[in-house]
Amino acid sequence: MTAHQHLRPAPASAGGEGNAMGRAVTRIEDVPDETLVAALARRDQRALAQLVQRHGGWAARFAERMTGSPHIAEEVVQNAFLRLWNSAEHWEGRSRFTTWFYRVLHNLAVDELRRRRSSHEELDEGLEDPAATPPQLLEQERNAARVRAALERLPERQRAALVLRHYEGCSQGEAARILGISEGALESLLSRGRATLREQLRGELH
């Protein structure tokens, strides 16, 4: 069974004692993340479907910025939700769900990149055919590609710090918690990452 098949939600139960959401809540959209994770531990597939719908979009964007590839990112996100499904009963709720899930995505992305690098797989999926693209838009796309390429060349921790702060909009404290470091260490990563990016992109952007 593929990861995609694992994530496909089953039809909602007609009710009964196995309904992990309970009867007190009428809209699953209103159920807090932490309650949904508790429902996952009881194998409520509606809870998984809701978490995928609620968090799948930003998770995919974060994974793509970490890996530089939408295809690798899709695999990372699927594996992250599978890990959530398989380990929900052990989740202790010591941090917000999103903080915990960012950490899972970050670790899986780093592991996947290391695995692919060790097997010499090509990570760059290439740019789309720029035919018939207006010159100004084409230059913007090239600049964006240069920034993405420079970001991918950064050490993993520096890249993660920059992505969390500047792309994902995480606060200083949340980004530090996701990476498991102090805010001072995060600021050091950000400073070194910005300096490296400026050096790499000097003279390249137009």
Classify residue 171: in a domain, yes or no.
yes
Instruction: Identify the CATH number of the domain in which residue 138 sits.
Output: 1.10.10.10
Structure tokens at 75: 């695999």
Alpha carbon 121 to chain centroid, angstroms: 21
Q: What are phi and psi of 67, to 5 degrees?
A: -100, -25
pLDDT at 42: 93
Q: Among residues 95, 119, 143, which one ends one of the domains?
A: 119
Q: How far apart are CA 32 and CA 138, in angstroms?
A: 43
**102 & 156 share domain:** no
83 burial level (CB within 10 Å; 0-12, 13-18, 19+): middle
pLDDT at 125: 41
Cα-based torsion angle of the residue sequence 40, 43, 46, 47 in order, rounded to the nearest 10 degrees? 0
Residue 119 or 51, more confident: 51
Classify residue 71: in a domain, yes or no.
yes
**149 & 192 share domain:** yes
Q: What is the mean pLDDT of residues 81-97?
A: 88
Q: Could you report the per-residue pLDDT of 117-159, keeping only the tens digit for each?
A: 664 334 334 334 444 455 655 565 676 677 778 888 888 889 8
**171 & 202 share domain:** yes
pLDDT at 2: 41
- Residues whose CB is less than 8 angstroms from the CB of residue 199 and which lie 6 or more positions away in sequence, other chains included: none
- DSSP3 helix / strand / coil % (the chain, rounded to 5): 70, 0, 30
**33 & 108 share domain:** yes
Q: How far apart are CA 195 and CA 189, in angstroms?
A: 10
Classify residue 194: in a domain, yes or no.
yes
- Residues whose CB is less than 8 angstroms from the CB of residue 146 and which lie 6 or more positions away in sequence, other chains included: 201, 204, 205
**113 & 141 share domain:** no
**102 & 153 share domain:** no
pLDDT at 67: 87
pLDDT at 206: 53
Classify residue 56: in a domain, yes or no.
yes
- For residue 181, give the DSSP letter: S
Query: Is there a contact between 70 and 41 (Cβ–Cβ < 8 Å)?
Result: no
Q: How far apart are CA 168 and CA 161, in angstroms?
A: 10
Alpha carbon 130 to chain centroid, angstroms: 28
**37 & 115 share domain:** yes
**111 & 139 share domain:** no
Q: Is the pLDDT of residue 22 over 80?
A: no
**175 & 205 share domain:** yes
Domain count, the chain: 2
Q: How far apart are CA 24 and CA 13, in angstroms?
A: 16
Q: Is the pLDDT of residue 202 over 70?
A: yes
Q: Among residues 67, 93, 119, which one ends one of the domains?
A: 119
**35 & 87 share domain:** yes
Q: How far apart are the first and last CA of the chain?
A: 47
Look up residue 57 and give its amino acid. Answer: G
Classify residue 22: in a domain, yes or no.
no
**57 & 101 share domain:** yes
Residue 192 binned pLDDT confidence (cut-offs 50, 70, 90): very high
Which range marks the domain in which residue 145 is found? 134-206
Query: Is there a contact between 167 and 65 (Cβ–Cβ < 8 Å)?
Result: yes
Q: Is the pLDDT of residue 72 over 60?
A: yes
